[in-house]
Chains A and B, each alone.
With several copies, the nearest count.
Chain A
Amino acid sequence: MDPSPDQKLDMYRLMLLARRLDERAWVLHRQGKIAFHISGIGHEAAQVGAAFAIRRGSDWVTPYYRDLALMLALGMTPAEFLMGLMGKRDEPNSGGRQMPSHWSLRRANAVSHSAPVATQSVHAAGIGLAIKLRGDDKVVLTTIGEGSTSQGEWYEAVNWAAVHRLPVIFIVQNNQYAISVRAEKQMAVQSAADKACGLGLPGIMVDGTDVFAVHRAVKDAVDNARAGNGATVIETRMYRITPHSSDDDDRTYRSREEVEENKRRDPLLLARARLQEEGLLSESQYDEMDTQIKASIEEAVKQAEAAPYPAGEEALHPVYAEEVRHA
């Protein structure tokens, strides 16, 4: 089922929010107010399209560090994200323990991930196994970069899901680079979706700059998984428009022309054009939306800046759980 007009606007609003927040993070970095940012610019369509294909809050997600738009779609607030950037005490990911964009949002069933890439893929397989063992009506969605699918852990994860027909959606956000390394040095296949055939499950490739195409592809896979037909690998292809992170200097390994060229397929431009075509978002409606978003972000920045840092000694805990919080 295609998204309703309201849903479409919602999707676009989230993409725009993610973009503006991401841009704001870069500004904070330039201002020396934060030490690190890893950007999701260019990835918004893939993430929002996927998020809207699951039952947010009920289904499970094991994300990776580029998933700002996905996390916003799952209900993380801009202030929460910004507090994470600043290492504030009450940021929900880790209470200031992890670097920014190392997500966790318990209330949205979005699991804490670490920096070692591909570990989250295996957790998704395990969550899928648990869903199946319990007979629950849920799926789990997990994301990863294309470079990280070179890890044996990714292969082992997908293999479990394939052998046991687990309700897992493995999304590969192929932005064509792993820091400086181009995808053809990671894999000898054209697309990470091609890897699925070697593991015995469907592999789908979709334009990751087209939010509605992504939504459709992921929705199909989710329906399949929920119906007991097992896992799918989906490659969403886009381009990493920014440097890898604020620590990276991408001029050492790619030309400005290449980057500019790729900016033309900005997922926000594409989505906005579509909504305009469909008469859902006029120029002035867009301006209003953008103004609103920017204002809400400024509000959130103030809130985040005013929030307290943790005291040093808080770092002593919690090494061990006293009790399991969930059922």
Chain B
Amino acid sequence: MPEMTLIEAIRQAQDEELARDPNVFITGEDVGVRGGVFRATMGLYDKYGPNRLIDSPLAEDSIVGVGIGAALYGMRPILEIQFADFIHPALNQIISEAAKMCYRSNGEWTVPLVIRAPYGGGIGGGLYHSQSVEALFAHVPGLKVVIPSTPYDAKGLLKAAVRDPNPIIFLEPKKGYRLIKGEVPEGEYVVPIGPARISRPGRDLSLFAYGMMHHYALQAAQKLESEGIDVEVVDLRTLYPVDKETILNSVRKTSRALIVHEDNLTGGYGAEIAAIIADEAFTDLDAPVRRLAGPDVPAVPFSHPMQDWFMVNPEKIAAAARKLAQW
């Protein structure tokens, strides 16, 4: 199996879906000749032409709204938001429209579409090129929120997203675009949207993460192994709807839970996972449910010392897990 980067897997998924279904098209800023500022659509304009790769005006709300209209007509749009930080102008179309269309029309109208957006910090992007936005969407019934952490999952989940009859928020950990490599089969396969994945079985503690933090979680787990702490790592992958079963089964086994994300702590996605565990696995718990997350400041600062201070990293994860394992 060829090894490739996360961004290459994303490009390949889009390439294959464009080839498979003439209803699939891509729009967004600079997705055409430029091939996307992160090169997620590189080469596709030459291959599929200007009717399949459409450079949009610089207006995110209309990128999503136009995508919704096209989806209503029967197309399968993939919408690229250049940075997750710039998804906010589109929140009305996403939350008021895409998420509610099926429900409000009693199932008469549906909007199959994928909104791709690079998210996350640690890349010198400062306040507005580093944000994590998953919590905004993992509270909105009608949306599905997907965050792949490996090239294999990225390709398989993106292909599943394109074929899903619902609006999908597909967030890509951009720090991992070129950093994360892995084996990816040629051609056809999908990874189902929904199930989380136990990426490292363990008995002492459950570590829940996604995106770049999932890699850091694995690194932390490896470090703790040498200290005799056996950590189970769960890659949540689909954040919404939540895969409660996998989460609860893991905690029932380990009796300890640590949730990690780089987004701000308060009101972040981890709160929901902690709340589920505190309710439904209460009697299984041997220790408090812990969260390790970005601090409650607006976003990741630019200057390196401050960026480092903000970011969760393998050392911080290992420290939090160690403390919890010893609780």
Contact = CB atoms under 8 A, between A and B. Distances in A.
Interface of A: 35-36, 60, 62, 87-89, 92-100, 102, 104, 106, 111-112, 114-117, 119, 122-131, 133-134, 147-148, 150-153, 156-157, 159-160, 163, 178-181, 185-187, 247-248, 252-253, 309-327
Shortest Cβ-Cβ A-B pairs, 8 listed: A126-B69, A122-B65, A312-B309, A96-B303, A87-B303, A115-B128, A95-B106, A180-B34
Interface residues of B, number: 73
B302 A96 contact: yes
Main secondary structure of the interface of A (DSSP, over half): loop
Contacts of A96: 301-303, 306
A97 B32 CA distance: 32
B102 A318 contact: yes
Interface in B126-142: 126-129, 141-142
Contacts of B124: 35-36, 99
Nearest to B241: A320
Contacts of B69: 62, 122-130
A130 B73 contact: yes
B37 A106 contact: no
Contact of B57 (A180, A186, A248, A311): A186
Nearest to A136: B73
Contacts of B34: 179-181, 252-253
A126 B72 contact: yes
A114 B100 contact: yes
B125 A99 contact: yes
Contact of B62 (A111, A156, A312): A156
A155 B92 CA distance: 15
Contacts of B66: 122, 125-126, 129, 157, 160
B110 A159 contact: no
Contact of B129 (A99, A186, A187): A99
Most buried by B among A133, A152, A327: A133
A197 to B, nearest CB: 18
Contacts of A323: 165
A130 B97 contact: no
Nearest to A132: B51
B89 interface: yes
Given A151-B89, A319-B141, 9 more contacts: A99-B128, A111-B109, A122-B62, A133-B75, A134-B75, A147-B58, A179-B34, A312-B308, A327-B74
B305 A310 contact: yes
Contacts of B96: 114, 116, 119
Contacts of B144: 320
B85 interface: yes
Given A88-B303, A319-B102, A321-B102, A159 B109 contact: no
Contacts of A148: 58
A314 B68 CA distance: 25
Contacts of B72: 111, 123, 126-127
12 contacts: A88-B303, A97-B103, A99-B129, A126-B71, A127-B72, A130-B74, A150-B57, A156-B61, A185-B55, A253-B33, A309-B305, A324-B112
Interface of B: 25, 29-30, 32-35, 37, 51, 54-59, 61-62, 65-75, 83, 85-86, 88-89, 92-93, 96-97, 100-110, 112, 124-129, 141-142, 144, 165-166, 295-298, 301-306, 308-310
A129 B79 CA distance: 14
Contacts of A62: 69
Contact of A123 (B65, B75, B310): B65
Contact of B108 (A124, A309, A320, A325): A325
A74 to B, nearest CB: 14
B303 A126 contact: no
A21 B57 CA distance: 32
Contact of B103 (A92, A124, A130, A319): A319
B89 A153 contact: yes
Given A178-B29, A179-B29, A179-B37, A125 B62 contact: yes
Given A119-B92, A123-B69, A130-B75, A114 B128 contact: yes
A115 B302 CA distance: 13
A283 B225 CA distance: 72
A250 to B, nearest CB: 9
A180 B127 contact: no
B165 A97 contact: no
Contacts of A180: 30, 32-34, 55
Nearest to A117: B58
A315 B71 contact: no
A102 B104 CA distance: 9
Nearest to B75: A130
Contact of A104 (B61, B67, B109): B109
A58 to B, nearest CB: 13
B260 to A, nearest CB: 19
Contact of A309 (B92, B297, B303): B303
Contacts of A309: 303-305
Contact of B297 (A111, A319, A322): A319
B93 A119 contact: yes
Contact of A247 (B37, B61, B106, B127): B37
B67 A126 contact: yes
Contacts of A156: 57, 59, 61-62, 65
Given A97-B106, A115-B129, A252-B35, A185 B92 contact: no
A249 to B, nearest CB: 9
Contacts of A316: 295, 297
B165 A112 contact: no
A98 to B, nearest CB: 5
A130 B97 CA distance: 18
A87 B70 contact: no
